[in-house]
Each structure stands twice: as structure tokens, then as C-alpha cells.
Amino acid sequence: MVEARAKQGRGRSGDRRSNDHLFDRELDHLPPEARWREWMNRVEATIFAASEPVDRKTLARIVGKNCGIDLLIDDIREELRGRPYDLIAVAGGWKHLTRPAYADAIRAATGGSERATDLTESDVLVLMCIAYFQPITRGELSSFFGKEISRDLIGHLRGGGFIASGPRSPTPGAPYTYVTTKEFLLEFGIDTLRDLPDFEALEDAGLLSKERLLAGDIMPDFAAGQENIGVEMDE
């Protein structure tokens, strides 16, 4: 049985090598300019056809081993200048995204929101706190805002795929924590969490105060307009 599986494995490996041999990544028969153009076309076609961001490892399968993928992306983006969409580094890969200037036109054409899940100002504020302080419990979020964050709000964010359960908190009762997801990165056009605006820069701009946040005074008007926030804690 082991020998048979080993032979089968070798056979599959041989098939992959055969397929690799049939697909010409290097394109050595082409002059440099034509080769570069073909690599650009392959990369753009692959990203265009994908429903999710395409990562570097995937793109490396369709271009020469010495091809500079970042340079290819730069050239593709240059050609897209002035078009209503761009090639954006997001969620660990690249994806075609429409430019913000055309959001209203898209909403008018589709008769509604571009998003599968609409986000309110409250949703965005809670997401911001989770992004900066994850993993974080619902109790900690409630302390930040000076009002309990409802299960409905958390469920809304989870339903949209923007957050997921993180590790249990080491605090008494071991409540669930929450973390952001790949969908969060996609929604806000961020490649990694390292691309979030610098906390100090937000403070300097007067957009966010860590002291106010930790004191539960991040947004005085947050609680006033939120009728559905404020149910029992699940800790």
C-alpha cells in the first residue's frame, strides 16, 4: 500500500512537472519588450479573473523566475491611470478595485449599496477599535465607548465577515475576544494591519485620542444616537 501510494505520489509529481514543462514561464524565445508585455498581460488577466486578491506566490507561477512582480504591477497600474478602476495591494495580494470617485455611479446603477453588508458610523467606530486593539473583548469595547456594545452589533460585524472570534481572554470568565479578518482588509482597501493609519498621526490630527479612548470618551455622541446598543454582557 505504501509503495503504491509512493508510486502514485511520484506520478502526480511527474504530472505537475509535465504541466510545468508545457507552460512556458520564461518566454526566452521572445525579445525583452514582448516578453515583459506578455508577463504583464498574464498577471493582469489572472488578477482580473480572480474573485479574491491574488498573492505573490500565485503570480510567480506564470512569470519568469527572475521577473520583478512589483515592477510589473507598477507598469500595469501606470497603464490603468485615468481608468475608473485600479490594481490595489489589499489583504495580502492584488485585486482590481473601482476608484472611489465612481462609487455613487455604481450605487445608482445597482440600485443600492456596493457592500453586501452596510456599515453604520457605529459599526466603523467599533471596527476601528477592534483593529487597533485586537484581540479585544466586548466588555473592553463597551468601556471604550461608555456604553455596552450589543450582541446585535457584534453579530452584524461577524455576519459581514469583518470580525471573527479570537482567543479567550485571560481575564475572569475567559470571555471571547474579537479580531479583524481578511474581509475587513478588503472592505477598507488595506494590504495588512501594518497599513492602518499611525495612531500618533491620528492623535496629531485631532482625529483620535488614546487617553479619551481608554477613558470611555472617544465619541460623546456615540451612545446618544444608538438606541440598539446596550444589552447584557456575554462575559
DSSP-assigned states of every residue in 173-197: T---EEEE-HHHHHHTT-SSGGGSP
Q: How far apart are CA 169 and CA 9, in angstroms?
A: 44
Across the range 66-76, mean pLDDT stands at 96
pLDDT 10s digits, 38-70: 999 999 999 999 999 999 999 999 999 999 999
Residue 93 is predicted with a pLDDT of 94
Q: Tell me the β-bridge partners of 54.
A: 94
Lowest-pLDDT range of 98-102, 142-146, 202-206, 226-230: 226-230
Give the confidence band of 204 by pLDDT, cuts at 50, 70, 90.
Answer: low
Does pLDDT of 231 surpass 90? no
Does pLDDT of 230 surpass 80? no
Give the confidence band of 18 by pLDDT, cuts at 50, 70, 90.
Answer: very low
Across the range 65-77, mean pLDDT stands at 95
Q: How far apart are CA 84 and CA 102, in angstroms?
A: 7
Does pLDDT of 81 surpass 50? yes
Residue count of the chain: 235
User: What is the pTM (predicted TM-score) of this model?
Assistant: 0.61
Mean pLDDT of the chain: 79
